[in-house]
Structure 1
Amino acid sequence: MATIQIRGLVKQFGPVTAVNGLSFDVAPGTVTGFLGPNGAGKTTTLRILLGLVSADAGTATIDGLSYRELPEPLHQAGAVLEAAGFHPGRTARAQLRIQALAADADASRIEDVLDLTGLTAAADRRIGGFSLGMRQRLSLATALLADPEVLILDEPANGLDPEGVRWLRGLLRGFAAEGGTVLVSSHLLAEVAQTVDSVVIINSGRLVAQGPVAELTAGGAGLEETFFQLTGEASR
């Protein structure tokens, strides 16, 4: 399975340095939490990794290749960056049919991912009537449709109720247990602590800490306290 590697990544937007010399790895078979306060550079890093933004310096690769170099990118990396962007008049099933064609995914996967994300009963409802949590589930279904090796998720718990967060935790743990690679950004630190194997914490575009959760909190502090000590900001 694939490894994510970030090496010396730099990105500036005018006078603002969004990412500043960032380096870290995400290994197969693990869930890595990508943490930092708002504006820390998490989303910019993920967008560079997915080929949506060009870096000014450094590299962001999946299995040694940039996203644009991947021979079958949707089969190799599934992503959720936001829950918007679906046509409100389409049903969930129709949306997935269109995505399956675009990804050259087997049509049988549509029913699989609807079941996996708990959307089977809502599959023929129009997306315009979906809650934010249901849109997040549909985004995850879309990301999983081509049976990728890697999941790259930006705040996937947004809009999910407590039951949905528990479901998401099980989904990510199961994906990693089968050898998949998961990078998930979040500011919901208490939930991340119960989901991830390790964390990467950034602030002002720079790496401030990385490693297994147990090691970072070995001094007796919880993850939220450690986060505050490293970034000076409370989680929200």
Structure 2
Amino acid sequence: MTDISVRGLTKRFGPVTAVDGLTFDVPAGQITGFLGPNGAGKTTTLRMALGLIAPSAGEALIGGRRYADLPHPRRSVGALLEATGFHPGRSGRDHLRVLARAADADSERVEAVLDLVELRSAADRRVGGYSLGMRQRLGLAAALLGDPGVLVLDEPANGLDPAGMAWLRRLLRELAAEGRTVLVSSHVLSEVAQTVDQVVIINEGVLRYAGTLDGLGSDSLETAFLELTSR
């Protein structure tokens, strides 16, 4: 099984330190919530883990390797950082077919992920007419194309209605139960509390907590989050 290991991860943008010496683990077979207020450094951390920006110091390893050194990165890691980058005139199915070539996936896998995210009925509609929630589902389908062992998802519940969030919760649990590593960044703390096995909380680029929900020692995730991020 593949895990994510972050060690001393740091990113500076000129005089600003966006991420400061983060060290934590994201185990396989579990859902890990990645939490922090706006500007805490979450997206920067995820982008470094995915090789989109270079760290100033430290490293983020996926199965013991940097993302750039993975032999088949799209089959190893599926990522949803934002539900954008879709051609508005292309159908959802055609969008996935284009991406499938890069992920070395066949047409059967395209149909499988459409079913998995419950988008088959809208697969032949133009993406330009999709709601935000539908685009989130399409982005998740794209992340799953390579049948990856690791999923990195930034605000995957954005735009989903309550039924959609319940569906996403079930899906993430099923994926983790298959032994996949699932890292989810979210601001919806009530949903996180119902979904994850452990949390990593950062503020101002610094680690505030990494561990199980029970280890927070508070009556709710929201209470613990506010206490940890107000220091």
Aligned residues: 231
Structure 1 SS opposite 2:159:
coil
Across the aligned residues of Structure 1 and Structure 2, the Cα RMSD in angstroms comes to 0.9
2:102 matches 1:107: no
Distance 1:65 1:101 in 2: 24
1:119-169 deviation digits (Å, cap 9, x = unpaired):
000000000000110000000000001100000001111111111111110
Q: How does 1:168-187 map to 2 (within 5 A)?
A: 168-187=168-187
2:226 matches 1:228: yes
1:171-197 deviation digits (Å, cap 9, x = unpaired):
110000000000000111110010000
Indicate conservation of the 8 Å contact 1:155/1:185, yes or no. yes
Q: How does 1:35-74 map to 2 (within 5 A)?
A: 35-74=35-74
Distance 1:38 1:162 in 2: 23
2:117 is matched with 117
Distance 2:182 2:133 in 1: 20
Q: How does 1:123-162 map to 2 (within 5 A)?
A: 123-162=123-162
1:15 is matched with 15
Distance 1:121 1:21 in 2: 46
Q: How does 1:182-193 map to 2 (within 5 A)?
A: 182-193=182-193
Structure 2 SS opposite 1:121:
helix
1:186-219 deviation digits (Å, cap 9, x = unpaired):
1111100100000000000000011111221x34
* Superposition TM-score, scaled by structure 1 size: 0.96
Look up the equivalent residue of 2:60 and give its one-letter code: A
Distance 1:73 1:16 in 2: 30
Deviation at 1:106, TM superposition (A): 2.4
1:63-117 deviation digits (Å, cap 9, x = unpaired):
0111100000010000000001100000000001111111111221111110110
Distance 1:36 1:54 in 2: 21
* Superposition TM-score, scaled by structure 2 size: 0.98
Indicate conservation of the 8 Å contact 1:106/1:146, yes or no. no
Structure 1 SS opposite 2:61:
strand
Distance 2:165 2:12 in 1: 34
Distance 1:157 1:13 in 2: 29
Identity %: 64
Distance 2:227 2:16 in 1: 24
Distance 2:64 2:23 in 1: 14
Look up the equivalent residue of 1:141 and give its one-letter code: A
Look up the equivalent residue of 1:26 and give its one-letter code: V
Distance 1:166 1:153 in 2: 16
The answer for unaligned runs of 5 or more in structure 2 is none
Name segments (4+ residues, structure 1) moved above 2 Å. Answer: none
